[in-house]
A and B are shown apart, each in its own frame.
Chain A
């Protein structure tokens, strides 16, 4: 008997469980958009090159177009719909609004999910290709505009709203730091 080419799976998305049967060929991107009606995540190139489909899987940013839905079972998925704290926007979302970090907006959900993860990666001390000295002794690199551009390079914006996107990520980073200092 031929092995089945579809499976009943449970996806954990934005804190909710969804049980569905998927053809194994279904990407996480298509499952989110076509099956769960979470259309915030956008399909751009569908080849892992544009970043419009960026979501967080177990807290890490990934491109959902190259992630098979069946392989995402039992992992915590956060889409742009799950970034805010209820009605309170995430600092990255607020900064994109305040600083016009978009034009047409199509790439924005991916930019926002990516930026949220960039701030986490930076806070965890991860270096980037823009980091002059990657040795841990050198300490965490300051989040300069050059660092932001490099770290956000997996998200393309055809409108070219990059200047404002860099400003928005920098402001969100600064507001996050202020919140931390206030808490301390």
Chain B
């Protein structure tokens, strides 16, 4: 591991200033991803600015009826928070579906959004990788890509975003707040992650030196009827092969409101807008749900070894929507 300087930031302005003073500095949150990547040489910061003591560790109700989640709230505290569990249960479920109890106590909301892909070529510095070393190539295209993207990928990178939390946040239209030396800004989480294209090393639309300070969830009554379901190769403590965050409001047998986002299928949490459009105002039932899934997955471009994901996601979408519709009918 490269040697590095270490400083603890006491306030947000100080953190941003410390980072701005060193082009090779990085923010340290829980460290569950960054420290691991530093050990393997994927990340080589010359300075860490520790932000864990910033006063960004609360979850608060907004006047509009949503929630404002601080960037240094741990995953563990977020999933345990009564208002998260009451108003956005799929978000609590998504967080609890990720990592282990130990890691959830360390990991933070801001860090979770900015964590890096677990693609085995990205994390192995002896391999080419367009994300880690632009222009070096993508061995996953012809190599190990069972866990890789089927939506929105390019011939330059097929890695998936590993977060569960971000999938639920995307379904619920979360807005990301950040601060730079020039002031505060915000952008919808759906716009945080850049399209892959030929620049897979450019992952987010955050301005240089920005610190994520929090995430706001707008009020969404439909979110009270939501679910996160994750498919993985073992019962617990594994990254998703595919996941769905879904919220459904059915009135008189007709879909009144719906939110859908898919995980582990793209370089970012995938908001399933095509499926949502197909569902809006349609009769709630298996035929509609299957048609909606097909509408979303029509854009899928699987590789030789991950075609199963298209079938998996179709079945997952139909199953979760069916469950939510049955619960609504009770």
Q: In the complex, how many angstroms separate the beta carbon of B125 from the nearest chain A beta carbon? A: 15
8 closest Cβ pairs, A-B complex? A154-B100, A3-B5, A153-B236, A5-B3, A60-B105, A153-B237, A136-B82, A129-B96
Q: Are B101 and A117 in contact (CB under 8 A)?
A: yes
In the complex, chain B residues whose CB is within 8 Å of the CB of A124: 80
Can you name the residue of chain B whose Cβ is closest to the Cβ of A128? B96
Q: Does B102 contact A (CB under 8 A)?
A: yes
Closest CB in chain A relative to B24 CB, distance in Å:
11
Q: Which of A7, A66, A126, A149 has the most CB of B within 10 A?
A: A66
Q: Which of B6, B86, B97 contacts A135 (CB 8 A)?
A: B86
Given contacts A66-B32, A126-B76, A128-B96, 20 further A-B contacts (CB under 8 A): A24-B5, A25-B38, A27-B35, A63-B103, A66-B35, A68-B28, A68-B48, A71-B8, A114-B101, A114-B102, A117-B105, A125-B80, A126-B79, A127-B85, A129-B236, A134-B89, A134-B93, A136-B82, A136-B86, A153-B100
Contact between chains at A4 and B5 (CB < 8 Å): yes
Interface residues in chain B, defined as those with a beta carbon under 8 Å from any beta carbon in chain A: 1, 3-6, 8, 28, 31-32, 35-36, 38-39, 47-48, 50, 52, 74, 76, 79-80, 82, 85-86, 89, 92-93, 96-97, 99-103, 105-106, 235-237
- Give complex CA distance A143, B106 in Å: 23
How far does the alpha carbon of A2 sit from the alpha carbon of B103 in the complex, in Å? 33
Q: Complex Cα distance A47/B89, Å? A: 30
A23, A61, A71: which contacts B102 (Cβ < 8 A)? A61
**B106 touches which one: A62, A117, A136 (CB < 8 A)?**
A62
Q: Is the CB of A68 within 8 A of B6?
A: yes
Q: How far is the CA of A60 from the CA of B74 in the complex (A)?
A: 11
Given contacts A128-B96, A153-B237, contact A134 B103 (CB under 8 A): no
Asked if A48 meets B103 with Cβ closer than 8 Å, knowing A24-B6, A71-B31, A136-B86, the reply is: yes
The count of residues in chain A whose C-beta lies closer than 8 Å to any C-beta of chain B is 45
A70 in complex: contacting residue of B6, B47, B85, CB < 8 Å: B6
Is A5 a contact of B236 with CB atoms below 8 Å?
A: no
Contact B85 A134 (CB under 8 A): yes
Could you pull out 26 A-B pairs where Cβ atoms are within 8 angstroms? A5-B6, A23-B3, A24-B3, A24-B48, A25-B1, A25-B3, A51-B100, A60-B105, A62-B105, A63-B106, A66-B31, A66-B103, A67-B31, A68-B28, A121-B101, A124-B80, A128-B96, A129-B97, A134-B85, A134-B92, A134-B96, A135-B85, A150-B235, A151-B101, A153-B101, A153-B236
**Beta-carbon contacts under 8 Å, A19-40 to B:** 23-25, 27
Asked whether, in the complex, the Cβ of A127 is within 8 Å of the Cβ of B96, the reply is: yes
Assess whether A79 is interfacial by the CB under 8 Å rule: no
* A54 at interface, CB cutoff 8 A: yes
CB distance from A183 to the nearest CB of B (A): 25
Shortest A138–chain B CB gap in Å is 9
Report the minimum CB–CB distance from B42 to chain A (whole Å): 12
Chain B residues with Cβ below 8 Å from A46 are 39
A118 at the interface (CB under 8 A from B): yes
B106 touches A66 (CB 8 A): yes
Residues in A whose Cβ lies below 8 Å from that of B5: 2-5, 24
Residues of A within 8 A of B89 (CB): 134-135
* Residues in B neighbouring A5, C-beta threshold 8 A: 3-6
Roughly how many angstroms separate A117 CA and B89 CA in the complex, as a whole number? 23
Q: Enumerate chain A residues within 8 angstroms of B79, measured Cβ to Cβ.
A: 126-127, 134
